Amino acid sequence: MAKNGKKYREVVKKIDRLQRYDFSDAIQLSLDCAHKNFDETIDIAVRLGVDPRHADQMVRGTVGLPHGVGKEVRVMVFVKGEKEKEALEAGADYSGSDEYIEKIQKGWLEFDKAIATPDMMSTVSKLGRILGPRGIMPNAKLGTVTFDVAKAVQEIKAGKIDFKVEKAGIVHAPMGKVSFGLDKILENISAFMDTILRLKPSASKGTYLKSIAISTAMGPGIKVDPAYVKDLINE
């Protein structure tokens, strides 16, 4: 079994593993625990009182983070005709149709998000086995199948992320970088948690927010008391 390094063991000492913190304290602890020589991502994990095996308890959506995630997102847009130019002018990294579909089938995947116009989906569906497992298949429910490609590109470039509850009932999402500092990460988390609350399925009974944890990509998880969520989004 791999052992944690000396720096990791030192930062863990700063955390009371039995305590559930408020958001500000948890974020600050995460920032204090960052010990790598690169700008680590701040992640949030929310365990929900849902059973994703039932369609009426699925939690899936998108949210525009006020400060983005601190990463340049490469966008591929599957379009034809005048829409190709529209997508590129809006900031897309790649825009086209058959030529890109052929490249992807041969192994090219130099993009992070994909958008398609509805008329392209019959062709793009050929890529389902490639893009689906990577979570980048265009999806109308996530706003990535649309004729308004300019808006879709701009939203993604501005910090829009999508998320989906996993089999264990947990939603994971990036909330920014250590370099953002406390206030920006707090605002991103506020937008995210507000969206999670609004997406509560009517079929979900009992406690909806079971647990919350914040961590850097390489750091320990810090527990947050879900009771602080309402105060956070009402600030």
**Domain locations in the chain?**
18-69+160-234, 75-158
Cα Rg of the chain, angstroms: 19
User: Does the pLDDT at position 8 exceed 70?
Assistant: no
pTM: 0.84
Of the listed ranges 84-88, 216-220, 227-231, the least confidently predicted one is 216-220
Q: How far is CA 103 from CA 59, 73, 99, 147, 228, in A?
A: 33, 20, 6, 23, 48
Helix intervals (H) in the chain? 6-12, 23-33, 82-90, 98-105, 121-124, 128-131, 149-158, 182-198, 229-234
* Helices and strands, number each (H, E), in the chain: 9, 9
CATH number of 18-69+160-234: 3.30.190.20
Packing angle of the helix pair 23-33, 182-198 (nearest 10 deg): 130
* 176 and 41 Cβ atoms separated by less than 8 Å: yes
Q: Give which of 114, 131, 109 is closest to 76, Cα–Cα.
A: 114
How far apart, in whole angstroms, are the C-alpha atoms of residue 184 and residue 67?
6
pLDDT in tens, 58-70: 999 999 999 999 9
What's the CATH class of domain 75-158?
alpha beta
Please give the pLDDT value at position 32.
86
DSSP label at 74? P
How far apart, in whole angstroms, are the C-alpha atoms of residue 225 and residue 235? 17
